[in-house]
Structure 1
Amino acid sequence: MSILGRFKDIMASNINALLDKAENPEKMINQYLRNVNSDLGKVKAETASVMAEEQRIKRELNDCRAEIERMERYAMKALEAGNEADARTFLERKTTLEAKLTELETSFQLASSNASQMKKMHDKLVTDIEELEARRNMIKAKWAAAKTQKRMNEIGSSAADTNRSMSAFGRMEVKVNRALDEANAMAELNAAPKDNIEDLAVKYDSGGNVDDALAALKAKIANKES
C-alpha cells in the first residue's frame, strides 16, 4: 500500500542521528514533533482501515470454512439416504468453496501482514512522540545554555579587546603627559630673567625707617629721665 512506502523513512529513522546533524536541535525537534503528530493521525486512520479489512476477510474465511463443512455433511447425508446425485451436487459446491477458501487465505495473509506493519508503524510513531515530548524540555534547556555560553564567550572576547584598547589609551596618556612636562620645562627656560633690584631696595628702605624710629624713642626716654 502506498502509505506503507510513504512512512518507511519514519520507521527507519534514528532520532539521535537526526539531532546530531541538526544545526538547531530545538527547532528541528519541534518540527519533527509537528510532522509525526500529523503523520500519526494519518497512520491511525489507515491502520484502522487495514485492521478492519483484516477482520472482514477473517470473517469471510471462517464463513467459507463453515460452509465447506456444511456441504460435506449434506453430501454424507445424501449418500446415506441413497441420493448420490444430491451428494454429487453438494460435493461440487464444496469444491467451488475450497477454491474460494484458497483465495481467501492468501488475501487474509496479505491483510494480516499489512495490519502488522501498520500497527508497528503506529506504535513506533507513538513511541517517538513520547520520547521527543519527554526530551524536548531537556534539549531546549541545553540549547539555551549553549547559546548563553556562546554569548558569554563573545562578550569575553569583546572585554579582551576593551582591555587592549585601555592599555593603548594608557600608553597614549603617558606620552601626552611627557610632552606636557617637556613643554612646561621649555616655557620656563624661555622666560626672561626676573629683575629683583626693586625688592632689594625696599629691604633697605624699610630698614632705615626702623633705625630712625628707634633713635627717636631713645631720645624721648632720655628727656623723661632728665
Structure 2
Amino acid sequence: MGIFSRMSDIINSNINSMLDSAEDPQKMIRLIIQEMEDTLVEVRSSSARVLADRKAALRRSEQLQLEVDSWEQKARLALAKGREDLARAALQEKHVIEEELSLVDVELKALDEHIVHLGDEVAQLQHKLDDAKAKQQALIMRSQTVESRIKVKRQMQRDALDKAFSRFEHFERRMDTLESQLESMDIGRDVPPDLAAEIDALQEDERISDELQRLKNELSGQAGKAASEKA
C-alpha cells in the first residue's frame, strides 16, 4: 500500500469503531498511533522532497525567463541593425524556450497544488494522531481506575472473608469452652451409679457395725459392773 493511500485510510478511519471492535483496545490504540506516527514521518519526508522539487523547478523557471528576455533583446538589436534574419532566428529560439518555460510553469502549479493538498492531509493526520493520543490517555486513566476499583473491591472482599473467618474462629472457641464446661461437670461421675451405691452402702454398714460394737461394749461394761456390785 502506498503512503498516500495509507494516509487516506487513516484519515477516513473511525478510531472509536476500531477500538470498540478490538479485543484489546489499549493494544489497538498503540498500533494505531504507531502507524500514524510512521506515516507522518514518511509524509513529511515526501513533503520535503516535493518542496525541494519545487525550488528546483522555480530556479529553472527563473533561468528560462531570463533566457526568454535575453532572446527578446537580441531580436530587437538585430532589427535595429537591419538584420531581420537574425531577429527571426532569435525569436525562434525565444519561442522554444517559452515552450519549455510553459512546461516548467505547469509543473510548478502542479507542485504547488500537491504541496497544499499534502499540507491539508498532514494537518488532518496530525489531528487524528492527537485524537488517538487523547483516547490512549483516556484508556490508560480508565484502566487505572478499573484496576484501582478491582483492588479496592478485592480488599473489601478480603476484609469480609477475614471477618467471617474471625467470627467462625470465635464461635469455635466458644463451642470449645462450652464443651469443656460440660465435660468438667461430668468429672467424678464416671463410676456407674449402682457401684457407687454399693460403696456407699458398705461405708454405711461399716459405720453401723462400729456403732453396734460400741453399744455392745457399753452393755458388756455395764453387766460387769453390776456383777461386781452384787458380789
TM-score interval, smaller chain:
0.5 to 0.7
User: Where does residue 190 of structure 2 map in the other structure?
Assistant: none
User: Where does residue 176 of structure 1 map in the other structure?
Assistant: none
Taking a change above 3 Å as real, the CA distance of residues 197 and 44 of structure 1, as seen in their structure-2 partners, is closer
Measured in 2, the distance between the counterparts of 1:17 and 1:77 equals 72
Q: Work out whether 1:24 is the aligned partner of 2:24.
A: yes
Q: Normalized against structure 2, the TM-score is what?
A: 0.60
Amino acid aligned to 2:212: D
User: Where does residue 13 of structure 1 map in the other structure?
Assistant: 13
Amino acid aligned to 1:47: S
User: Where does residue 89 of structure 1 map in the other structure?
Assistant: 89
Measured in 2, the distance between the counterparts of 1:104 and 1:197 equals 137
| CA positional deviation for 1:27 | 0.9
Taking a change above 3 Å as real, the CA distance of residues 3 and 136 of structure 1, as seen in their structure-2 partners, is closer
Is the 8 Å Cα contact of residues 61 and 101 (structure 2) preserved in structure 1? yes
Which runs of 5 or more residues in structure 2 are unaligned?
166-192, 226-231
Measured in 2, the distance between the counterparts of 1:142 and 1:217 equals 109
Specify the SS of the correspondent of 2:89.
helix
- 1:1-226 aligned at under 5 Å gives the runs 2-126=2-126, 128-129=128-129, 132=132, 136-146=136-146, 149=149, 198=198, 201-202=201-202, 204-209=204-209, 211-212=211-212, 215=215
Measured in 2, the distance between the counterparts of 1:146 and 1:115 equals 46
Matched-pair identity in %? 22
| CA positional deviation for 1:72 | 2.0
| CA positional deviation for 1:130 | 5.4
Q: Normalized against structure 1, the TM-score is what?
A: 0.61
Specify the SS of the correspondent of 1:47.
helix
Q: CA RMSD in A?
A: 4.2
Amino acid aligned to 1:91: L
Task: Number of aligned residue pairs: give it.
Answer: 189
Specify the SS of the correspondent of 2:111.
helix
The structure with the larger Rg is 2
Taking a change above 3 Å as real, the CA distance of residues 3 and 35 of structure 1, as seen in their structure-2 partners, is closer
